Amino acid sequence: MANTWLPPAEYVDTLPRATAYACLYFTDTAGRPFQLRATYQTRQWQWPGGNMDPGETPWETAVRECREETGLVFTGEPRLLAAHFVTDRGEDWPANHIGFIFDGGELTDEQIAAVVLDPEEHSEYRLRTLDEWEREMHPREFARLVEIDRARKTGATVYVETGATGA
């Protein structure tokens, strides 16, 4: 079989589709993960972040989305905690979804008190221990939280896959 070279635009059309998101993972000074309650998704709890805009890097996305969703202006350096791959989510979202979870560090009491949520996206934020989060989250989502928290504590970057029903 002879190799057939395709022009880049045609070749790209043959590749699987994917979208990308980026977010920041925060804890308070006691190590309790900070999460936002979404008003518009089936995944109830999430970290400040969202889908990448054209021309944006994952890091730029995470910082922008954090500011838009919480009012917090993050000035730290990028430290990747995890890459997250979500398989095809069905007809409603006919593409894989790739995520970049960055370490946002510890929020002080003053920073937490200054959080201002966009009510169209999030109804509240919470800080909970992992044991408390386990009681509030779907098991697949909680497993992802545990992996991200472990990455933060160990300094290792993790890779997480989530199936269509856990997205």
Name the pTM for this structure.
Answer: 0.89
19 contacts 98 by C-beta, under 8 angstroms: yes
- What pLDDT sits at residue 16? 81
- Torsion angle defined by CA atoms of residues 38, 135, 139 and 146, in that order, rounded to the nearest 10 degrees: 90
Q: Give the chain's count of helices (H) and strands (E).
A: 5, 8
Q: What is the pLDDT of residues 24-72, one digit of tens each?
A: 999 999 999 999 999 876 668 999 999 999 999 999 999 999 999 999 9
Q: What is the pLDDT of residues 148-164, one digit of tens each?
A: 999 999 999 999 998 75
What residue ranges do the domains of the chain occupy? 17-166
| Res. 1: pLDDT tops 60 | no
- 57-to-15, 51, 147 alpha-carbon distances in Å: 21, 11, 23
Separation between Cα atoms, residue 116 and residue 82, nearest integer Å = 26
Separation between Cα atoms, residue 155 and residue 88, nearest integer Å = 30
Mean pLDDT, the chain, rounded, equals: 90
Q: What is the pLDDT of residues 80-132, one digit of tens each?
A: 999 999 875 666 767 788 999 999 999 999 999 999 999 989 999 999 999 99
Q: Where are the alpha helices (DSSP H) in the chain?
A: 8-13, 58-70, 109-113, 130-136, 139-154
Strand order in the sheet with 34-38: 45-46, 34-38, 122-127
Question: In the numeric block, which tokens belong to residue 141?
Answer: 């989502």
Fold of 17-166: Nucleoside Triphosphate Pyrophosphohydrolase (3.90.79)
